[in-house]
Amino acid sequence: MSTLIEQIALCVENGKVNMASPYPPQMKGQPGSDELTKQALEENVLPDDILNKALVVAMNKVGQKYSENKIFVPQMLLSAKAMAASMNHLKPFFQSGEVKRKGTVIMGTVMGDLHDIGKNLCCMMIEGAGWEVIDLGVDVKPETFIAELDHHPNAIVGLSALLTTTMVNMGVIITSIREKYPNTKVAIGGAPVNYDFAKQINADAYSKNPQDMIVWLEKEVA
Amino acid sequence: MSVFTEFHIPYGDLVVDPQAAAPMLGYDGDMPEDILTMVREVVDETTGCYDIRGGYMIFDSVAIHQDEHTLSLGGSTFHINKIITRQLRHSTQIAVFVCTAGVGIEQWSRKMLADNDPLKGFIADIMGGVVVELAIDRIQQQLSEAVNVAGLKITNRYSPGYCGWHTSEQHPLFALLPTTLGIRLTESALMQPIKSVSGIIGIGADVRFNPYSCGLCDATQCVYRNKRK
């Protein structure tokens, strides 16, 4: 019989949120990450283990499968929903400091651009990998990133853009950030950008997909 | 210069196909049945969220400068880039259009995201885009029929932000119209409600409509490429 940790991980990997959720069809009528996380905490499973041995492991598998085109956006979002249901029970432990996250990532779609779907997906996956994510939304100006860095000076910044006409704003934002925070690491992503463009604007990384960003965070920063 | 021709399109008049969400959800073909069921649920739940309005205004005095890749219209000069200049080069008139699906679908999508239902929120966001494109397709068809009477044809529609036309020129574009139907522009030229479109359409006896326009654009990695065949 699998442990609660394994069951939670399985629910997150398959997007099983709670008992009432009909998805995935093969898990219909079974408890989801919501009930199982509650049960695990009641049975004194360490919240840190729930985060790192269930949620992070499961979301890593989800990200890997997505980057290999084995699953698509809907399955990833259902996993994110299952992860969030579990995270909801862990919130008090984050607040008390009993569970520590790997670090903070400030995310935003650059000024002039309103496209946030890719950025939102990235935020969910990064949170699932054990990071605190501060999502500044869309049309974010340099001063907004800097104001957030004032609160979280060790944070890493992720910039997103979808349009060729707005990706140039990434360079403007990076320049502004580095004037005040020269050591802040910045990753960029979005349809029109690539590795060469990242180098050109002095970004530290280019992420083709959420999993790319997570791998970079783990390798370079964590 | 004509008057602004306005349309209020009831949602029920549009044929909204849930499978239209498939490409943006990452599927090459049809969606699996369980995901399609979720899309249908979102489509059903959001029927009342739409307030679809749009319109166009035709400008007779048009100057297209092929060397400079600019379009002079209503006292403003637009830097429409090489691709759009080429497509509009035979235009003798230009229609400036706006269209919005309203703020309701955007609010519904955001509520779902806030309520930890990212998939529903994502689907609603996609379908909002599908609906506004269907609406502007219909308005474009009406424009085509209207100019056909005079033996004229229309080009594809082109919007700031695409094909190298900078989004900031949305401001002078909006300034040409007597009304933008409640669509507002932020300082950085974003449209609010988000599910809105704006742009230009060329009109003339010798212009051409390309049924598949993505091939014209040089944004080879664009997420919309090949999605709107």
- State how far the alpha carbon of A126 is from the alpha carbons of A34, A53, A156, B29, in Å: 20, 16, 12, 29
| Residue ranges of chain B whose pLDDT lies below 70 | 1, 212-229
Of B35, B166, B186, the CB nearest to A74: B35
| B27 touching chain A per CB within 8 A | yes
For A54, which DSSP code?
A: I
Q: How confident is the model at residue A69 (pLDDT cuts 50, 70, 90)?
A: confident
Min Cα distance A169 → chain B (Å) is 11
What are the structural domains, with CATH classification, of chain A?
A: 4-96 (1.10.1240.10), 104-221 (3.40.50.280)
| A72 touching chain B per CB within 8 A | yes
| A173 touching chain B per CB within 8 A | no
What are the structural domains, with CATH classification, of chain B?
A: 5-216 (3.40.109.40)
Q: Which pTM does this prediction carry?
A: 0.84
Residues in chain B closer than 8 A to A164 (CB atoms): 164, 219
Q: What ipTM was reported for this prediction?
A: 0.78
* B198 token code pair: 């704006």
CB contact under 8 A, A74 and B119: yes
Alpha-carbon torsion angle B6, B8, B9, B12, nearest 10: -170
Cβ-based neighbour number of residue B184 at 10 Å = 11
Residues in chain A closer than 8 A to B222 (CB atoms): 162, 191-192
- State how far the alpha carbon of B8 is from the alpha carbons of B12, B16, B18, B51, in Å: 12, 17, 22, 8
pLDDT in tens, A112-161: 888 887 898 899 889 988 899 999 999 999 999 999 999 999 999 999 99
Question: Looking at the predicted structure, is the pLDDT value of residue A51 above 50?
Answer: yes
